[in-house]
Structure 1
């Protein structure tokens, strides 16, 4: 089994490391981590897995066949440059950063490159991981990475041109869903005698059950609405309001987030 390196150790890196270890995709002594701040998150991992190594990449990068860069977008290019003396065309480098396209990554290294957009839902072994592979990667390298990721998520290869919009539906979606349904719960509180705790509890269980119906029963959104909304009934009245108001909200959300991705790309380009 090949050695794996992680550079940066935020919440997503922690999720990836723990899932790979939990599912036997790597042994403790084969995982190497470099992070500038060795805080509570890393200390907790090393308490659970004491044979994981936390050291400067200069001391392990040359021996790792797979290296995941988990630093913020505007630190990715400098990290690739630090890696340059220690990697070769047989090394597989994976960036989880938004807004830094393959063409900029490929220009900095001879190693094979993939972009991986994880989702926090993978902590519950659910959700979708988005992957874009460099054409320079071998079929075996692509397959090995996809197999590793599939132990804790559903892996979908996607065109890079669609990656930013798709990320809104996978990686960012839990945050957007939380924001939308928090407002729904708070509206119920304002319009009733329900406590915030009651409203949140009722809605969270409804979300969980709706997700199970959509996945396990393979129901579409439209079919779910038809099952709940009787003709001329209360649910239909509410759904009409939502359909009249929310399209503009979501179009503005996509416009703002896609512009942010474009800005990150422009800033990354200035570093090359």
Structure 2
């Protein structure tokens, strides 16, 4: 199976490197291109694969095509090359504002959406899958198999696309930000240096992930085990309860509002 990647930006690169490292695909079966070919060639030098000069060339040379461009560019990539797609291919968008129904409205082939997470680069975490109503069973199985090499694939309905993506795809950035603030505050208030605090916080997160992965504790159980009544942790939790307020509710409200803006533009492009 020939895999095509259109767009080798951050997430395109993550997908390429994860697929190759996990041996989901062989470099000889990878076709890729980018608006700036230099970026694609840099990936090729490290991972192998074939860099092609145009989107059309990737489409004509591949069985499954991942479109890894910005939401508002997906329509243009498809429309400019619509005569190059064939009915036996599968086209996959990796962006939440473009629905599988929109892809199906202008493509003659199987369509799906695969929303990755940067955690997939470590061959871990979750990826989100949504299949079009006209997507063949064979392609559902093939895409799921690819996703399993680098993640735990979870099928989602259109209605939860944004919030699921916030948790899986945006979540690493959100919690990285919180962790950095956690580290910066420790350095500012105490005698610890930034390097030591960073190592301690990073290893703590790795250990926390292992506890959850092995089902040793649930999130509430973890809080209960660590938070001794009247102890230091309890004091810290009390501060967080007071100061965080509705920060996460406001976060999801903001991402939903941005999602509505983006989907309004893609609806105007696709007409559905």
5+ long unaligned stretches in structure 1: none
**Alignment-derived partner of residue 38 in structure 1:** 37
1-side partners of 2:178 and 2:58: how far apart? Answer: 44
Once the two structures are superposed, the pairs formed by residues 132-211 of structure 1 within 5 Å of their partners are 132-211=130-209
Contact preservation (8 Å) 1:189, 1:196 = yes
Whose helix proportion is higher, 1 or 2?
2
Taking structure 1 as the reference length, the TM-score comes to 0.93
Once the two structures are superposed, the pairs formed by residues 116-131 of structure 1 within 5 Å of their partners are 116-131=114-129
From the superposition, tell whether residues 214 and 50 of structure 1 become closer, same or farther in structure 2 (CA, over 3 Å): closer
**Alignment-derived partner of residue 239 in structure 2:** 241
Q: CA deviation at 1:9?
A: 0.8
SS in 1 for 2:153: strand
SS in 2 for 1:150: helix
CA displacement 1:162-209 (0-9 Å, x = unmatched): 010011111101100011111111111222112222222221111111
Taking structure 2 as the reference length, the TM-score comes to 0.93
**Alignment-derived partner of residue 226 in structure 2:** 228
Query: Post-superposition, which runs of at least 4 consecutive aligned residues in structure 1 deviate over 4 A?
Result: none
Contact preservation (8 Å) 1:32, 1:55 = no
SS in 1 for 2:25: coil
Contact preservation (8 Å) 2:40, 2:51 = no
2-side partners of 1:233 and 1:255: how far apart? Answer: 34
Once the two structures are superposed, the pairs formed by residues 60-79 of structure 1 within 5 Å of their partners are 60-79=58-77
From the superposition, tell whether residues 263 and 223 of structure 1 become closer, same or farther in structure 2 (CA, over 3 Å): same
5+ long unaligned stretches in structure 2: none
Q: CA deviation at 1:55?
A: 2.5
State the superposition RMSD in angstroms.
1.6
Q: What is the total number of aligned residue pairs between the two structures?
A: 270
SS in 2 for 1:107: helix
CA displacement 1:111-162 (0-9 Å, x = unmatched): 2111111011111111110111111112221111010111111111111110
2-side partners of 1:125 and 1:112: how far apart? Answer: 26
From the superposition, tell whether residues 27 and 258 of structure 1 become closer, same or farther in structure 2 (CA, over 3 Å): same
